[in-house]
Amino acid sequence: MSEMPCCPPVTALPACVDRDWAKHAVAILEGDGRRSADTHLVNPVFRGLKGISIYLKDESTHPTGSLKHRLARSLFLYGICNGWIRKGTTLVEASSGSTAVSEAYFAHLLELPFIAVMPKTTSRQKIEAIERFGGRCHFVDLPGEVYAVAAKLADEAGGHYLDQFTFAERATDWRGNNNVAESIFDQMKAEAHPEPAWVVMSAGTGGTSATLGRYIRYRNFSTRLCVVDVEHSAFYDAWKSGDREATCPRASRIEGVGRPRVEPSFMPGVIDHMIKIPDAASIAAMHVLSDRLFRRVGGSTGTNFFGLCWIASCLMKAGEQGSLVSLICDSGDRYTSTYYNEEWLKANGLDIAPYREMIETFLDTGTFRSDLMAE
Ligand X SMILES: *Cc1c(COP(=O)(O)O)cnc(C)c1O
With CB under 6 A as the contact rule, the residue among 115, 257, 328, 345 that binds ligand X is 257
229 binds ligand X (CB under 6 A): no
**SS3 category, 113:** coil
Using the rule CB under 6 A, is 205 a contact of ligand X?
A: yes
For the CB of residue 160, give the shortest distance to ligand X in the complex, in Å: 20
Sheet of 41-42, strand order: 41-42, 52-58, 322-328, 198-202, 224-229, 273-276
- Nearest to residue 273, comparing CAs of 242, 231, 239? 239
Q: Which of 154, 203, 274, 309 binds ligand X (CB under 6 A)?
A: 203
Cα–Cα distance list, 168 to 23, 70, 234, 281, 334 (Å): 23, 10, 18, 27, 23
Q: Which helix (H) or strand (E) holds 11?
A: none
* Secondary structure element (H or E) that encloses residue 326, with its range: strand 322-328
Window of 8-16, 181-189, 196-204, 307-315 that interacts with ligand X by CB under 6 A: 196-204
Task: Please identify, using beta-carbon distances, which residue of 89 and 208 lies nearer to ligand X.
Answer: 208
207 binds ligand X (CB under 6 A): yes
Q: Is 366 in the site for ligand X (CB under 6 A)?
A: no
| Part of the chain binding ligand X (CB under 6 A), chosen from 38-46, 125-133, 207-215, 310-318 | 207-215
Q: Is 90 in the site for ligand X (CB under 6 A)?
A: no
Outline where DSSP puts E strands in 203-321. 224-229, 273-276
Q: How far apart are alpha carbons 17 and 89 in whole angstroms?
A: 15
Residue showing the smallest CB distance to ligand X in the complex: 256
Report in angstroms how near the CB of residue 158 gets to ligand X at its nearest: 28
The contact mask relative to ligand X for 31-70 (x = CB under 6 A, - = no) is: -----------------------------------xxx--
Binding of ligand X by 338 (CB under 6 A): no
CA angle centred on 252, ends 227 and 306, rounded to 5°: 40
Closest separation in Å from C-beta 193 to ligand X = 25
- Residue 41: Cβ within 10 Å count: 17
Rounded least distance, CB 343 to ligand X, Å: 22
- Cα 348 → chain centroid: 24
Q: Which is nearer to ligand X, 65 or 79 (CB)?
A: 65
Stretch that binds ligand X, among 15-23, 147-155, 191-199, 201-209 (CB under 6 A): 201-209
What's the one-letter identity of residue 39?
A: T
Number of residues that bind ligand X (CB under 6 A): 19
332 contributes a contact to ligand X by CB under 6 A: no
Choices 126-134, 203-211, 314-322, 343-351; region in contact with ligand X by CB under 6 A:
203-211
| Residue 330 binds to ligand X (criterion: CB under 6 A) | yes
**Between 159 and 256, whose beta carbon lies closer to ligand X?**
256
Cα–Cα–Cα angle for 105, 108, 114, rounded to 5 degrees: 85
Half-sphere exposure of 269 (CA within 13 A, CB side): 4
Residue 208 in the binding site for ligand X (CB under 6 A): yes
Nearer to ligand X, 32 or 229 (CB): 229
* Least Å from the CB of residue 264 to ligand X: 12
Residue of 90, 300, 313, 331 interacting with ligand X (CB under 6 A):
300
Tell me which of 202, 223, 233, 252 binds ligand X, using CB under 6 A: 202
Q: Is 204 in the site for ligand X (CB under 6 A)?
A: yes
Residues 283, 321: Cα–Cα separation, whole Å: 27
Q: Does 143 bind ligand X (CB under 6 A)?
A: no
Residue 145 CB-density burial (10 A; 0-12 exposed, 13-18 middle, 19+ buried): middle
User: Are 118 and 96 contacting, i.e. CB atoms less than 8 angstroms apart?
Assistant: yes
Q: Applying CB under 6 A, does 228 fall inside the site for ligand X?
A: no
The Cα–Cα gap between 375 and 214 comes to 26
Q: Give the chain's radius of gyration (CA, Å).
A: 22
Residues interacting with ligand X, by CB under 6 A? Answer: 66-68, 98, 168, 202-209, 256-257, 298, 300, 329-330
